[in-house]
Chains A and B, each alone.
Chain A
Amino acid sequence: MNWIAKLKRLHRELLSINRRNIEYVYACNPRQYYPLADDKVLTKQWLEQLNIPVAETYMIVESFADIRRAIRTLKQQEKAVIKPSRGRGGGGIMLVVNKEGNLFSPSGKPLTDQLIRQHLADIIFGNYSFGLSDRAIIEEFIIPHEVFRNIYPEGVPDVRVIVYYGIPVLSMVRIPTDRSGGKANLHQGAMGVAIDMSTGTMLKGLWNGEYVSKHPDTEKQIEGVKLPFWNEVLEISKKIGTHSPLKYLGIDIVLSERKPVVMEINVRPGLEIQNINRKGLRGLLRRSKPKCDGKNRL
């Protein structure tokens, strides 16, 4: 194939950032419904109504008056996560492990009441959500499925599914690495792994600009490993996509030992998934459903 033909094909298949914004985000996702995705408290409430599994909420910390009770709540649980409701990019997330009434981070660093109070205050003040005031969620600490713990013992990998009008279009797994410091964030050095949509089998992963079959730190095989609960993942994605007034979504799902749990919904899902799968979203979207009309209603 010559270069001109290749470029033409790229234009037909690749979803560029301009086109994503204009033809998908603006056209498919009415702005008044953004809070459904941007505010995790609202997301969870809505998903619970749809009977979609989410991490169990222990408490929502709305104000400083709740902080004392929040610490009590934390001490009643074996493990918990504190996160800002409107945070972004995984900022402000604190993992708490309870050992006989004393709280620690998973790495064993003691978390004093003072530290937790400070962190909750930071969240409420909006330090992790663009200076807006916010609320903190204290929720279940999801332990990833054995399949993932075998590949890399730390952090929580997740599955991202791009859903367009209820159709799962493209998907990837994000696996933490030493470089990403246990975070499943591609910007910070996590590994992105392509998925065979029909079988839920992991394909090659993209890390440090190279397509690899094994985890870069543990050397464990990734390519060819089948994801657990793949049918449930697809069912959940379809259900959210069908019921949501937001028609172009990135759904983040963590696979726990027992079931898939939806962690987050994204109205502006990133485009790196195309590099990871070596597939163009534009072509996939075009072939799955006609263009948005921008008149979605709940």
Chain B
Amino acid sequence: MSIPHIVAILLTTFTSVIIVLKFLVWDYRFEFLLPEKGYNLTVNMHFWEGEEGVRISTWLPSNDVRQHVDNISFENMGIPIHIEPTEYGTRIVWEGVPPSASGKVSYTAVLRLKAIRYALPDSVPIKQYTTPTLKEYLNETPTIQFNHPVIVAIYDSLHPKVNNAIAHLKRFYEYVSGFENRPFKGTTDAVTAALLEEASCNGKSRLLVALLRRSGIPSRLVGGIVLTSGRKRTAHQWVEVFIDGVWVPVDPTNNHFAYLPENYLKLYVGDQPLFSFKKGIGFRYEFEIQHITLPNRFFAKHLTEHPFNAYKAWKAFQENGIPLSLLTIVLMLPVGAVVISIFRNVVGMQTFGTFLPALIAAASVTTGLTYGLIGFLTVITLVSILYYPLDKWHITHNPRMSIMMVAVVSALLTSGWLAQQFDIKDITYLALFPVAVLTITAERMAQTIMEDGLKKALWVTVQTAFVIVVVYEIMTIKSLQSFFLAFPELYLVLVAIGLVLGRWTGIRLFEYWRFRHLLKNL
């Protein structure tokens, strides 16, 4: 075993020891370090024929034990909004005369949700509830008709003859959740659901509430959205039952008992619609849902309170206005470089420059990968074309590079101007591209074209682009970033990988193809 290998093993061992110490002695916790899953929800409300004014209202998500709203933003078209917390949820109303008869208002919420499970006792006696708020959830309503003969008959045949709310709930839940699910449009009342023995979420929920209220157990409908990635128009309703002082969720449609999955967003309680709007206007809604990764809310606090991590170093940068996101991507550059050396030395791919793909990937974090790649390709193509006259006129190396750098900077400025002309804000970020690196790359590209032909240059460009994409995907993994911030000693592992890679004498993957004739002839 050679010295570099021994050093690599020592570095890796040292790093592992430090990380273990951090967890065992210095009380680091994964749950505060790893990023959290979240959702981006946009609720679009389109209206038309609103010449005489519109009035649209809906419910905004609010915080509770299992859901947290990170951020919420609105698109109002200049229509005044009014937000009001109520006992049923947070109500938002757009009311006014819009600048045009048709248009759209919307809100976008960044959400963190958790699944929750309630451990129910075996037996809870049914009490007499007298508080007005709870009494409301024992009332008969036009759609929850628990004194209707149909409901009464079902109740009489089902209800367990014991004073135990849990037994009642279980029995009714089993009965209603046994119904076929049907995507009925509009409102289905409890009696209709009972007669059809099939219903959509609101019909089944109303029937369950009716049976529970008949037993004297406070219960209510809950409205919200089941968050699944994509666009959809379906909202959802389920039931909450008041047991032992707590509102316990029950969903007879998707069969969740005393449990809410992580992707349930609760918006309001009570038997009411999710949207209401002024009569006479046209109205259509739509949800857009994306899965997103959010930084851990306790990350900064956790790292500040614990020793030996890169977050503490950032504090110094922070005072000079450098955002954590920028520092993070700089911290990920060595990771990108290691990935590139694997592509070059193990796979045998050729890229323009060793660090260029990592730098382009880093720059693409602000522009987005698509614009980053387009920008990279456009700039180096344009500038490498410039190489030809410069070469033809025998412009010597240093002045040639300075002229090409002017071209790169001009290309980046032009992209900013185009961005403004065509209102594509994202490409303004191209100005953040590493100018020197692009210049050198453009020169190398031109040289490759001249010495090895266009085909070869294109092939290297394709490989470079491929490596940029992979490096970008790796450098933007949120949990990896958190790890390097929390455990900067991981850099020693990168050094170890470099040492092993640098002493690796094996055959590159592409060499098996290059020397395929030898495989036949040896």
Contacts and interface: CB of A to CB of B under 8 A. Distances in A.
Contact of A19 (B451, B505, B518, B522): B505
22 contacts: A10-B512, A10-B515, A10-B518, A14-B507, A14-B511, A14-B515, A16-B506, A16-B508, A18-B505, A18-B508, A91-B451, A122-B396, A125-B396, A125-B397, A127-B396, A131-B397, A187-B452, A211-B517, A274-B515, A278-B518, A278-B522, A280-B522
A43 interface: no
A188 to B, nearest CB: 8
B400 to A, nearest CB: 9
B522 A6 contact: yes
Interface string B107-137: 0000000000000000000000000000000
Nearest 3 A/B pairs, CB to CB: A19-B505, A131-B397, A125-B396
Contacts of B394: 118, 121-122, 127
Interface in B389-414: 394, 396-398
B284 to A, nearest CB: 62
Given A126-B396, A187-B452, A22 B505 contact: yes
B511 A17 contact: yes
Nearest to A12: B522
B105 to A, nearest CB: 60
A210 B81 CA distance: 76
A275 B522 contact: no
A97 B12 CA distance: 64
B504 interface: yes
A203 to B, nearest CB: 12
Contacts of B518: 10, 13-14, 274-275, 278-280
Contacts of A91: 451
Interface string B483-522: 0000000000000000000111111100110110111011
Given A10-B512, A13-B522, 19 more contacts: A6-B519, A6-B522, A10-B507, A10-B519, A14-B511, A14-B515, A14-B518, A16-B511, A19-B505, A22-B503, A118-B394, A126-B396, A126-B397, A127-B397, A131-B398, A187-B451, A274-B518, A278-B517, A278-B522
A37 to B, nearest CB: 20
Most buried by A among B394, B397, B503, B504: B397
Contacts of B507: 10-11, 14, 16, 18
Interface string A12-30: 0110111100110000000
A246 B508 CA distance: 26
B345 interface: yes
Contacts of B505: 16, 18-19, 22-23
Interface of A: 6-7, 9-11, 13-14, 16-19, 22-23, 89, 91, 118, 121-122, 125-127, 131, 187-188, 211, 274-275, 278-280
B501 to A, nearest CB: 9
Contact of B521 (A17, A18, A126, A278): A278
Nearest to B450: A91
A19 B348 CA distance: 13
A17 B502 CA distance: 12
A122 B397 CA distance: 9
Contacts of B514: 275
Contacts of A131: 397-398
Contacts of B503: 22
A285 to B, nearest CB: 13
Contacts of A127: 394, 396-397
Contacts of A279: 518, 522
Contacts of A187: 451-452
B251 to A, nearest CB: 57
Given A14-B507, A16-B506, A89 B522 contact: no
Nearest to A9: B522
Interface in B322-372: 345, 348
Contacts of A280: 518, 522
Nearest to B391: A127
A205 to B, nearest CB: 13
A17 B396 contact: no
Contacts of B508: 16-18
A116 B517 CA distance: 44
Contacts of A16: 505-508, 511
Contact of B515 (A18, A125, A275): A275
A11 B518 CA distance: 11
Most buried by B among A9, A10, A23, A187: A10
Contacts of A6: 519, 522
A18 B522 contact: no
Contacts of B348: 17
Contacts of A14: 507, 511, 515, 518
Nearest to B505: A19
Interface centre among A7, A14, A89 (most CB of B within 10 A): A14
Nearest to A129: B397
Given A10-B522, A18-B504, A280-B522, A275 B396 contact: no
Nearest to A283: B522
Nearest to A119: B394
Contacts of B504: 18
Interface string B374-400: 000000000000000000001011100
Nearest to B456: A187
A9 B502 CA distance: 24
Contacts of A7: 519
A17 B396 CA distance: 32
Nearest to B515: A14
A31 B118 CA distance: 72
A13 B522 CA distance: 8
A13 B507 CA distance: 11
B4 to A, nearest CB: 10
Contacts of B451: 89, 91, 187-188
